[in-house]
């Protein structure tokens, strides 16, 4: 199935369906394709779906558009650093992207990351790549945390010796 990825605000139903489809694909993939990091078994999930547009060249630079679905079925507004790195690793393994070659990954909203493979490496004995992803980010929120000056335990407390006494 080919999906045309054009950012149009007048088509929220299509974006919603894309998000739902991405979640279904992610769940099916997780059931069928065990995915465990070769050095960190605590990383063992498939948590994003990337819909990849065709690889093309623009001004001599390989480029592609994508839409990344993150849980719970939301489309990332950026090209996604994780998705861009994964796509470059796959392209490199297929011989489509060389070390040092630029790659421009564009989101469904036409935001861009300028990417590249810095070097080949090994991860848990498996071939891997060190990637570079550069783009623009915008501050979307600020949070402040503090302690009440009257709190008698501003650094927390430990009662571990009483918990095991039961």
Q: Write out the two tokens for 5.
A: 């990825």
The neighbour count for residue 109, using CB atoms within 10 Å, is 16
Return all residues near 129 (Cβ < 8 A) that are at least 6 apart. 85, 88, 89, 92, 99, 117, 118, 119, 120, 121
Which residues, in sequence order, are CB contacts of 125 under 8 Å at separation 6+? 38
* Per-residue model confidence as pLDDT tens digits over 59-100: 999 999 999 999 888 998 899 999 999 999 999 999 999 999
Q: Left, alpha or beta for 95 (phi > 0: left; psi -120 to 50: alpha)?
A: left
Q: What is the rounded CA–CA span in Å between residue 26 and residue 76?
A: 15
Backbone torsions φ then ψ of 50, nearest 5 degrees = -115, 120
Burial class (CB in 10 A: 0-12, 13-18, 19+), 84: buried
- pTM (2 d.p.): 0.76
Distance CA 151, CA 87 (A): 49
pLDDT at 11: 60
- For residue 133, list its beta bridge partners: 115
Q: Which of 12-16, 29-33, 102-106, 133-137 has the highest mean pLDDT?
A: 102-106
User: Quick one: pLDDT at residue 145?
Assistant: 85
> To which H or E segment does residue 59 belong?
none
4-45 residue pLDDT tens:
545 455 566 788 899 999 999 999 999 999 899 999 999 998
């Amino acid at each position: 199935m080919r999906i045309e990825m054009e950012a149009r605000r007048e088509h929220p139903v299509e974006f919603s369906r894309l998000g739902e489809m991405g979640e279904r694909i992610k769940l099916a993939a997780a059931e069928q394709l065990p995915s465990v990091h070769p050095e960190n078994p605590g990383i063992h999930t498939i948590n994003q779906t990337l819909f990849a547009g065709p690889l093309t060249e623009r001004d001599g630079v390989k480029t592609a558009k994508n839409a990344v679905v993150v849980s719970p079925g939301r489309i990332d507004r950026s090209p996604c650093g994780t998705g861009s790195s994964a796509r470059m690793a796959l392209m490199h393994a297929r011989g489509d992207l060389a070390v040092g070659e630029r790659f421009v990954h564009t989101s469904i909203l036409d935001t861009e990351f300028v990417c590249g493979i810095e070097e080949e490496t090994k991860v848990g004995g498996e071939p891997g790549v060190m990637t570079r992803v550069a783009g623009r980010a915008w501050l979307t929120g600020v949070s402040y945390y503090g302690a009440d000056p009257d709190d008698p335990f501003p650094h927390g407390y430990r009662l571990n010796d009483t918990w095991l006494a039961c």
